[in-house]
Chain A
Amino acid sequence: MIWLTWRQFRGSAAMTAAVLVVLTAVLALTGPDLASRYAAGIAGCTPDNTCDDFFDRFFDEHQIPFLALTLVVLILPALVGLFWGAPLITRELESATHLLVWNQSITRGRWLAVKLGVTGLAATVAAGVCGLAVTWWSDPLDKSAVPEMAQMSPLVFSARGIAPMGYAAFAFVLGVTMGVLVRRTLPAMALTLVAFTAIQLAMPLLVRPHLMPPVTSTFELGRTNVNGIVPQGQEGGAMQLFLSTSAVPGHAGAWVLSSDLVDPSGRTVAGGDGASGPSSTIARSIPVSTTSGPCAPSRGQGTDACTAEINRLGYRQQATYQPIERFWPFQWIETGIYALLTLGLTWLCFWRVRRGLS
């Protein structure tokens, strides 16, 4: 049975293997160079404390391959589900060859076990190789990424570590399940795509934030979490502060779930009136003198002094976040969840096939 499964699968397996070999070869050739440039940059910026600028420059230069690779790892499980999972059984049903193979001296359960085992293992290994290679290559960029692309942020997290293996195994079995439920290849592929996309969206939106209770903390305002500060309206009015919703000071790589400005008494400052700042920020208006003191434009002391003044008045960022230290625990938990889902669907497939798919 292993021979037959391999005989049916070898074409697409060889193609996928070829693509993966090329990908990992390119990553293996360019990875060390990227890492050494990162090390050199860090060595250069540490003495004069300009590493934030270096990070911005470094990430900006390599943003396109970074995003492209992340995308590849995100899409790979869906492709596995669509092109390996969904047709696995439906192709047999559509050509009626299941009637041929089911009547060799091998039970349907064994037949399915081998098909699922061989192809599912290949899918998991492919996603694992791809995911871990990209994780290794992206390491310097993950350390210097902008807060929106932090390593814990939904998109990047899903394309790093061992989670892609869980996604691929799940997507594969999801495809097979859709196949045994609707029995036709194209509808099964469409349903697989819809269901997998829905689950991949629901996971970071609804489940992942609660895998561990998020940390809630208040932070002083500074360069990391204040993306701009401008006078509001007429001279003498309040200051408009753009508070980052994706970064907290001292926790690079964290996934910020919520971020708000609180006033000296600890109450949340309500939203500003209309003016909007750069993306991933919220605008908050602060009643601070703009005619005199550090925030007066005429004094020309720049935003740092004004931010310090607002800090001194007792305004703080209050944020809930998942710190980067939880990256591996989260990876294991999430992979475990997908492994359980995979087992559940596998059981469903066996149940259907044992009953003769009728």
Chain B
Amino acid sequence: MTTVLRAQALGKKYGRRWALRECTIDIPAGHVVGLVGPNGAGKSTLLKLASGQLEPTAGGITVLGGRPGSTPAQLAKVGFVAQETPVYAGLTVAEHLRLGARLNPRWDDGMARERIARLGLVPAHRAGKLSGGQRAQLALTLGLAKRPDLLILDEPAAALDPLARHEFLQGLMEADVEHKLSVVLSSHLVSDLERVCDYLIVLVDSRVQIAGKTDHLLATHHRLTGPRRDPDLLPAGRHVVSARHTDRQSTYVVRTGAPIHDPAWRVSRLSLEDLVLAYMDGRTAERRRVALEVQG
């Protein structure tokens, strides 16, 4: 299998507002995919569409070759840990494992018990009494023990303190290595993703800005700093992601496959965070320009 998730002009509308639109992506198998974007960009919507929690308004989406959430077999192949990692407050840890065992044909009970024991969770404790980190670990255990081919996590670490977040992501990475699954996780913290992801999707304003392997993205994006000039004077074949100007200086973030030799520019590498920020920034600038044109 080469593709875990394929979306074609996918869109989801809530009332009159598009939460996600014109989303066309193709995520290859065997990656830990980071989905990054500001709050309200449509990350959760995309992940809920992928796990079958929502039905698309427009376009289509296939996950592991099937329509998300359509059949029990399809559901068994995809694990989903929702935002804020919900668990049944009135049920104990052991009852959650029982729930997983009863509702999933591929359930790995030995693995679930071993994980719970290793994490120091007491099976007789009620899930409502667990800390945020423990709850997230319980939800992750449920997601992993159903033995999915693809695990989707929606801001799994958002509510955790830095230490718990580190442990959670660490646990996720270990499980990923052990079970060779594909993972898609969203976050608005690039630092989280930087540590675990080898594939990145940037989603801003309900649209996919860019998607690709992180090393490839880092190799093809550059920051150019030089005397002030218009973007039109940049060499052809370079896509400007964002631009900033002071009185004398211009700073561009560009995407290009070719090396840049123009001595007028000082070329520097970007960190993943810089890259994501450039896309968010570029999008904001564009919106501002559109607004000005409309007014003018």
Contact = CB atoms under 8 A, between A and B. Distances in A.
B96 to A, nearest CB: 9
B103 to A, nearest CB: 4
Contact of B103 (A104, A355, A358): A104
A212 interface: no
A185 to B, nearest CB: 15
A104 B97 CA distance: 12
A101 B80 CA distance: 10
Interface string A72-104: 000000000000000000000001110111111
Contacts of B105: 105
A343 interface: no
A106 B87 contact: no
B156 to A, nearest CB: 12
B46 to A, nearest CB: 14
Interface string A103-135: 111111010000000000000000000000000
B149 interface: no
B53 A8 contact: no
Given A356-B53, A358-B54, A100 B104 contact: no
A210 interface: no
B86 interface: yes
Given A3-B98, A107-B69, A356-B54, A96 B82 contact: yes
Contacts of B12: 358
Given A95-B86, A95-B89, A97-B86, A105 B69 contact: no
A3 to B, nearest CB: 5
B102 A97 contact: no
B87 A103 contact: no
A14 to B, nearest CB: 14
A99 B75 CA distance: 12
Interface in A242-294: none
A104 B146 contact: yes
Nearest to B49: A356
A107 B71 contact: yes
A356 B14 CA distance: 12
Given A4-B103, A8-B90, A103 B14 contact: no
Contact of B69 (A7, A108, A358): A108
A100 B139 CA distance: 8
A105 B86 contact: no
A1 interface: yes
B136 to A, nearest CB: 12
Interface string A197-214: 000000000000000000
Contacts of B76: 105
A7 B91 contact: yes
B159 interface: no
A322 to B, nearest CB: 48
A104 B106 CA distance: 11
Nearest to B152: A103
Given A4-B102, A99-B80, A358-B54, A106 B89 contact: no
Contacts of A104: 75, 99-100, 103-104, 146
Nearest to A107: B72
Interface in B15-69: 48, 51-55, 69
B282 to A, nearest CB: 31
A101 B51 CA distance: 12
Interface string B131-165: 00000000100110010000000000000000000
Contacts of B90: 8
Contact of A102 (B69, B89, B104, B146): B69
B72 A97 contact: no
B102 A103 contact: no
A282 B73 CA distance: 71
A107 B72 CA distance: 6
Given A95-B89, A97-B88, A99-B82, A105 B75 contact: yes
B53 A99 contact: yes
Contact of B72 (A3, A4, A95, A105): A105
Nearest to B72: A105
Interface of A: 1, 3-4, 7-8, 95-97, 99-108, 110, 355-356, 358
Please list the 5 inter-chain residue pairs (A to B) with the smallest Cβ-Cβ separation, ordered nearest first.
A104-B103, A99-B82, A105-B76, A96-B86, A103-B80
Interface of B: 12, 14, 48, 51-55, 69-73, 75-76, 78-80, 82-84, 86-91, 95, 98-100, 102-106, 139, 142-143, 146
